A and B are shown apart, each in its own frame.
Chain A
Amino acid sequence: MIEIKVALVGQPNVGKSYLINSISGATLHVGNFSGVTVEKKEVEFQRNDYKLKFIDLPGTYSLHPYTPEEKVTKDFLLNEDYDLILNVVDSNQLQKNLVFSFQIADLNKPMVIAFNMYDEFSRNGGEIDTDKFYKLTNILAQNVSAKEKFGLEELFKKVIQTYEEKNTPRIYYSETVEEEITNVKRKIKKCKFDKRFVAIRLLEDDEDIYKLIHKKPWYIDLISQLRASKERIKIEFDEEDIKEIFFEERLALSKGIISQIAKRARKEKLSEKIDKILIHPILGLPIFLFVMWILFQSTFSLGAIPMDYISSVFNSFGDLIGKIFPNGIVKDSIVNGIIPAVGAVVMFLPNILILYLGINLMEQTGYMARAAYVMDGILKRFGLQGRAFIPLVSGFGCSVPAYMAARTLKNPKDRLITMLVIGFMSCGARLPIYVLLVSAFFPKHIQGNVMFAIYIGGALIGLIVAKILREVLFKGEPEPFVMELPKYRFPKLKAILFDLWIKTKMYLKKAGTFIAFASLAVWFLSSFPRAGIIKEYSLKIENAKGIEKIKLEKRIKKEILENSYLAKIGKLIEPITKPLDLGWREDVSLLAGLAAKETVVSTMAVLYGEGGKHTSKNLIEKIRKNMLFTTAVAMIIIVMFYSPCVAAMSTFYAEVPQWKWRLFYTIYPNVFAYIAAFLGVSLIKFFQ
């Protein structure tokens, strides 16, 4: 069977994913474009003895890429092997879309256009004459509605027909431009691209094409011709910027063709009406905050319910294994090492799924762009973008889904800066640490205020750090903010579920393996070496009875931890943390906190020799007696800013492929935490 490889290209919000989800009898594969965290969806299906393979390329506004996703599309169109381009167009925005269509038509590959969302367009009185469009452009086109599933089979027929006839577009610019294209074309010798395409792109100053040909022997000859041609076009059009001239050429073409093939639709007013309320200058912000409140309530309150179930399932599974296996290192490593490590991975799924469901709904309905519009003015002051709000606020719940939520930021710099400060938003797991320390060391009537100051202070410092990062690391021009506000649309359930499934798979595969290994490593460090201790105690425990036995079991736990590799590291760094008034017990607790922030409290409980309930009165008493006030403050400050848990760090590594940034991310929060804690402690000592 012959395979036709089709590149699916279109501007954002034209319903390409809808289209892919609407093909009956198709199988879907999801992967990554090599080297970047951009999803690559492929669909395969059969029609008339052909195997059709659609590759869904990221939505892009033009072949002058702006975001990394747009660059992926351009690179694919230039360098990959495919038979045909299927350009999806929103019928309701013909003019803007066709300008891009004519840009890709220059590639001179066989091409078909799908006028999508035709249902909406025709309902408002619009019509498109695709036969006439074919006569004018030599591109076969089909009116379709992916949502109502009409026109799709006809579209596939036209894809096959175009493939069989090797039918390429015929689109011509104005006379002067065409003459100069021909002049430049004549100087282009052997080249893997279509010569006309290369000529056009060179005239438009496409640097990617320059790079590809500047080593060719005929380059010098070409350059002088190119200069002369550009000069002539500039004079003829009385405009210095040739990119703009070409854009206007295509815009004129687009307008001319639309006037011949389409009957205009009445203007839809619904979106405008909804926007009157949702992005109202005064009401917009409170409405947005309310939506956010619902989103986080459901993510972290609703998400806590399945989290409890998951943890109890893993616990009872551990107990079961514990009963089956004989005592020893194998059992211990399964029950205390592997099962909790896998559990830690699955644990975050409910949070991630609910948050993503919310984000997906916001994206698909079109509200996300409005949220960015509403928040942009505030976040801009901190060098961040409107969309950064969602990942930042998610950080208060848990950094793992927050790092993943940062994907809604399309610009890589915006995304990186946002991700670098997410950790400063104190996550839910840090709450018990704050509660323990604050209730032990602060008078009752100001405890609430102290807690508030911890959370707000962390967030504010995070925003200020974002501003500093922007100024120091990404000096120069601020990132421009130009964003389409798409029409409000009803979300499609199938597309959302499918997207959630993909996110789950990606999380389990990439972050999941990281998290499992890191949790295992921390477990190993905190429970070895211990051969001697176990030998010493095992006989005693066997002979002991009742309460005595439980006491011994607690002691063995404490002794193992006190002699573990982790404790050795803690003692090793004690001199470094001395100026912060931290002893090795605090150091070990903080190090254990890298496994999960919850373990800070449980480790302190073990080390201060108080088993049982972690936040019990006893522990608070013990800590108050054994710790200095400055030690508590230093610990609070460090917990506010130092590295998040390995699960969060693993997610960051999975999302950011550059080692430079991974390294920076691993080091700078700890340095920052150290300095901040030092300042805090010194201030207190100064005033005491």
Chain B
Amino acid sequence: MKLNELNIGESGIIKKIYAKEPLKSKLLSMGFARGEKIKVLKHTLAKNTFDIDINGVNVALREEEAKEIEVEKI
């Protein structure tokens, strides 16, 4: 499943990042890498924007970017 399909409070392990450059490098530098654990802390009412915890770092991203990240729900 994709990251944007997770609900508030749910966690997952990153399986693959589909994003192209330069977004991919940006995501990597924020810590989004295969095998890392992420948790959805919050999203806006319309699920436009997500607040993700990755290794203690809070990152905000849009639905469009979240779609580029394949996760496995845990």
Interface residues of A, Cβ cutoff 8 Å to B: 61-62, 64, 66, 92-93, 95-96, 99-100, 241, 243-244, 247-248, 251, 267, 271-272, 275, 279, 281-282, 284, 369, 372-374, 376-377, 380, 386, 478, 480-487
Question: Given A377-B46, A485-B59, are A95 and B25 also a contact pair (CB < 8 Å)?
Answer: no
Report chain A residues within 8 Å CB of B43.
281
Give Cα distance in the complex from A478 to B34, angstroms: 25
Shortest Cβ distance from A248 into chain B, in angstroms?
Answer: 6
Report chain B residues within 8 Å CB of A247.
28-29, 33
Give Cα distance in the complex from A374 to B19, angstroms: 24
Check A281–B42 contact: CB distance below 8 A.
Answer: yes
Check A279–B42 contact: CB distance below 8 A.
Answer: yes
Interface hits, B14-58 → A, CB 8 Å: 17, 19, 21-31, 33-34, 41-46, 48-49, 51, 55-58
Give Cα distance in the complex from A99 to B25, angstroms: 12
Give Cα distance in the complex from A248 to B27, angstroms: 12
Check B48–A96 contact: CB distance below 8 A.
Answer: no
Check B65–A373 contact: CB distance below 8 A.
Answer: no
Report chain A residues within 8 Å CB of B33.
244, 247-248, 251
Give Cα distance in the complex from A487 to B56, angstroms: 10
Report chain A residues within 8 Å CB of B28.
62, 243-244, 247
Q: Which of A99, A377, A380 has the most CB of B within 10 A?
A: A377
Contact of B41 among A62, A243, A244, A275 (CB under 8 A): A275
Give Cα distance in the complex from A26 to B26, angstroms: 35
Contact of A64 among B29, B30, B42, B61 (CB under 8 A): B29
Give Cα distance in the complex from A267 to B21, angstroms: 32
Give Cα distance in the complex from A517 to B60, angstroms: 44
Shortest Cβ distance from B10 into chain A, in angstroms?
Answer: 15
Chain A CB within 8 A of B64 CB: yes
Give Cα distance in the complex from A483 to B56, angstroms: 14
Question: Given A64-B29, A275-B42, are A373 and B55 also a contact pair (CB < 8 Å)?
Answer: no
Give Cα distance in the complex from A482 to B27, angstroms: 7
Shortest Cβ distance from B1 into chain A, in angstroms?
Answer: 20
Question: Given A248-B33, A272-B41, A478-B64, are A484 and B58 also a contact pair (CB < 8 Å)?
Answer: yes
Report chain A residues within 8 Å CB of B21.
64, 243
Report chain A residues within 8 Å CB of B42.
275, 279, 281
Size class of the B contact interface (CB-based, 8 Å): 20 to 34
Check A96–B31 contact: CB distance below 8 A.
Answer: yes
Contact of A62 among B25, B34, B46, B62 (CB under 8 A): B25
Contact of B22 among A64, A377, A487 (CB under 8 A): A64
Give Cα distance in the complex from A374 to B29, angstroms: 23
Give Cα distance in the complex from A96 to B44, angstroms: 26
Check B62–A481 contact: CB distance below 8 A.
Answer: yes
Contact of B49 among A99, A244, A248, A376 (CB under 8 A): A376
Question: Given A64-B29, A281-B45, A482-B30, are A241 and B56 also a contact pair (CB < 8 Å)?
Answer: no
Contact of B65 among A64, A279, A482 (CB under 8 A): A482
Report chain B residues within 8 Å CB of A96.
29-31, 55, 57
A64-B29, A275-B41, A485-B60 are known contacts; what are 19 more A-B pairs with Cβ within 8 Å?
A62-B28, A64-B22, A93-B57, A96-B30, A96-B31, A99-B29, A244-B34, A267-B56, A275-B58, A281-B42, A281-B43, A376-B48, A376-B62, A377-B44, A380-B48, A480-B22, A483-B59, A486-B58, A487-B58
